[in-house]
């Protein structure tokens, strides 16, 4: 979804990918940021917290404008309907990130 958002263009692709992974791990209750993930990504959990919050905000308040191609594409079964995943409550995310 960040492909169509200019604000995310200034972010490092590796940091964006790591933040997306951390958000997905939290959303699916699959654990947090492990030392192995930190070693191979080069990012600590705290480095990713601000971007994780922004990503969840993007999921929560999706802009409904003319640019819907990516959202539509990833709403199909073949892509496991990831565009339809319910975002986390912002307060719950904040609490979870504090414990990471």
Q: Which CATH number covers residue 92?
A: 1.10.472.10
Report yes or no: 64 and 19 within 8 Å, Cβ to Cβ: no
**pLDDT score of 64:** 64
How confident is residue 21, by pLDDT bands cut at 50, 70 and 90? very high
Instruction: Report the b/e string of 60-72 with b at 16+ CB within 10 A.
Output: eeeeeeeeeeeee
| pTM of the model as a whole | 0.85
Q: What range does the domain containing 85 cover?
A: 2-99
Residue among 9, 23, 15 at smallest CA distance from 42: 15
Q: How many domains does the chain have?
A: 1
Q: Residue 99: is its pLDDT beyond 90? A: no
């Amino acid at each position: 979804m960040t492909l169509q958002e200019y604000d995310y263009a200034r972010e490092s692709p590796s940091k964006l990918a790591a933040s997306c992974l951390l958000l997905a791990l939290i959303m699916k209750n699959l654990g947090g940021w492990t030392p192995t993930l930190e070693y191979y990504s080069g990012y600590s959990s705290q480095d990713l917290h601000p971007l994780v919050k922004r990503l969840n905000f993007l999921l929560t308040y999706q802009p409904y404008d003319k640019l819907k191609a990516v959202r539509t594409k990833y709403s199909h079964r073949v892509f496991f309907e990831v565009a339809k995943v319910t975002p986390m409550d912002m307060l719950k995310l904040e609490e979870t990130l504090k414990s990471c």
